[in-house]
Amino acid sequence: MKALRYYGARDIRHEAMDDPKLQTERDAIVKMDACSICGSDLHIYHGHGFSDDVGFCVGHEAVGEVIEVGRGVSRLKAGDKVMMPAAVGCGMCRSCLAGNVIGCEFGAAACYGLSATLQGVQAEAFRVPAADMNAVRIPQGISTEQALMMTDALATAWFGARNSDIKPGSSVAVIGLGPIGLMAVDSAYVMGAHVVYAIDPVAERRAIAADNGAVALHPDDALSRIKDDTHGRKLDCVIEAVGADTTVDLALRLVARRGTVSVIGVQQSRRYPFPLERAFTSGLTFRVGTCSVPEEYTALIPLVQSGRLKPERYITHRLALSEGAEAYRMFEARTQGALKMVLRPE
């Protein structure tokens, strides 16, 4: 089969690799219908990966069709259309069965496409471990592209908004307007925010957020404008979707006393000088971490089915899998308004 394989910084190649095979009786093999590039994939693309491996298949967002199942798989059959949450668990422990694969009690939590340990999904086909849990039938009323956005990006955006303690009437800021940040803006409004400030240096991304009802600001202007608008009180909730020291620092400066900061940007710093004294005296809540996608489906599926959330509108490019290297280049450079890049087999 053909797949996108990582060989070093900015070196993604579309080339042949071995077909996936069942490794345990609980596995399934899925033929990819569509996959997409996540902002966190750029960390690998830049050479700051999560392992020293090379030659492995990248990617953790995909939907497809089951083509083979092991004898231990009981909920799926060949022909089922499924979406694969980006992270997997054992599928048997209490945490996994509750949807919290990050807290897998048997240490089986993993993400596709970080190394050869669990090959990625930007391929014509891929293996799904513990498939009864780690592959989810696409519900009625949800399109292929909507399901693809739910495998990671939309779930992470919702998780970030939920972790920021948004309540009806809350004032909110979202820092970083990539696809996840833009979906976090939408999520904040669905949760009842009365105002959302959308902060990003890229004018085109600010314009999208403004069209969706947010107050769009450049980072250089955000603190002074929000202080003016709130008479110095600042904001109840801040969602940081970048992962840089400067944006985490901005989030902490924008939040009000007894407010909440939720950091979902993949961290780019090994050591951040957290202002503990200021946080203590202000009574801040600070949450940081990754999303366990299945945990968010109970809320997200009906919201997408009803049209309250429309994650597919952030898909800007649809290319063939063979154009994957170019898709990564465009996504990194943000050319042609690149947001969500969707790839399909030939």
Q: Which helix (H) or strand (E) holds 342?
A: strand 340-344
Contact residues for 282 (Cβ-Cβ < 8 A; gap 6+): 255, 257, 258, 259
Q: What is the pLDDT of residue 18?
A: 97
CB-based contact 19:26 (threshold 8 Å): no
The boundaries of the domain holding residue 9 are 2-152+292-344
Count structural domains, the chain.
Answer: 2
Contacting residues for 167 by C-beta, under 8 A, at least 6 apart = 191, 192, 236
pLDDT of residue 103: 95
Q: What is the pLDDT of residue 271?
A: 81
Residues 310 and 284 in one domain: no
Tokens linked to 199: 């902060």
Token pair, residue 335, equals 């050319």
Residues 173 and 224 in one domain: yes
User: Same structural domain for residues 11 and 88?
Assistant: yes
Residues 28 and 104 in one domain: yes
200 and 236 co-located in one domain? yes
Per-residue pLDDT, 273: 87
* Other beta carbons less than 10 A from residue 246's beta carbon: 11
Determine the pLDDT at residue 37.
Answer: 98
d(CA 297, CA 85) in angstroms, rounded, equals 10
Cβ atoms of residues 220 and 198 within 8 Å: no
Whether residue 325 sits in one domain with residue 338:
yes
Question: What is the 8-class DSSP label of residue 242?
Answer: S
Contact 173, 254 (CB under 8 A): yes
Total count of residues recorded for the chain: 346
In tens, the pLDDT along 272-330 reads 888 889 889 999 999 999 999 999 999 999 999 999 999 999 999 999 999 999 999 99
- Which residues in the chain show pLDDT less than 50? none
Predicted local confidence at residue 66, as pLDDT: 98
Q: Are residues 107 and 235 in the same domain?
A: no
Q: Residues 175, 276: one domain?
A: yes
312 in the same domain as 283: no
Model pLDDT, residue 84: 97
The reported pLDDT for the residue numbered 48 is 79
User: Residue 187: which CATH number?
Assistant: 3.40.50.720
Residue 259 has φ and ψ, to the nearest 5°, of -90, -175
